[in-house]
Structure 1
């Protein structure tokens, strides 16, 4: 199975079903669209400032800019005071990778009228992730950049 490494807290937000898209500067490979992929939480330590920024934006009129569902706020507030609650270097679950869309096509789902992201060059493709299946227990894995091969235990 192909796996994709995603930094925390975003990997856990995907598995929780409150981050319906992964954003990248390139469209997902055609060969794995419609396929189930593993969601891997990278080994990079969680940055408290990134969580704080998401909390601030979710509480504001700019909540749409996070591309998160409102339910993400309570989770982020818990993790802000305890970043160690988020697992690192582990497969958290799987999801079906859908047909990539341009980010400006999906921002209205979150309440925006247009995409004015300051990360436009880095996040201009929205990859839908559906049919989420969390792993219990999660499985430690080293991970890699881009898509990589993962063999479930």
Structure 2
């Protein structure tokens, strides 16, 4: 992969790490992933924004309760998030954490059943976010410092 330009996507922490560790099988956006990137390997970049303790605490509470399905995280994420809650500084920021193959996007309501949720019966489906499957994760160790950007941007490993 060295030298070739790779499209990168900036994701805030802890979600970037959750993707790279395989605990978050979908990235959610308000728009479908570009057709040109579906089936392609993209870099996952952890944004510079500090980890928000309230967001981590909320995910932990939901994962422990009946609303676990609303996180769209695998149950194994709980132990990781509890470590992050105690030491948020363990998560790298402004770094490329790894790469993943981007799948064909689906509406969020199409995937909630995977997590034990109920199917959306709203008449406002058009307002639902897009779920982008991420698979074939390859973690980069150590993570590589990089400035991010909104949307997809070019990264040269």
Tell me the TM-score normalised to structure 2 length. Answer: 0.92
Contact kept, 8 Å, 1:23 with 1:123, in 2: the verdict is no
Structure 1, unpaired ranges of 5+: none
Distance change >3 Å, CA 68–CA 121, structure 1 → 2: farther
Larger radius of gyration: 2
Structure 2, unpaired ranges of 5+: 1-5
Tell me the TM-score normalised to structure 1 length. Answer: 0.94
Distance 1:22 1:122 in 2: 17
1:54 to 34, 53, 59: 59
1:97-145 C-alpha deviation (Å, 9 max, x unpaired): 00000100000000011248xxx88861000000000001110001000
Q: Is residue 26 of structure 1 aligned with residue 31 of structure 2?
A: yes
Give the CA deviation at 1:55.
0.1
- 1:66-105 equivalences under 5 Å are 66-105=71-110
Distance 1:136 1:115 in 2: 39
Contact kept, 8 Å, 2:29 with 2:129, in 1: the verdict is yes
Aligned length, in residue pairs = 149
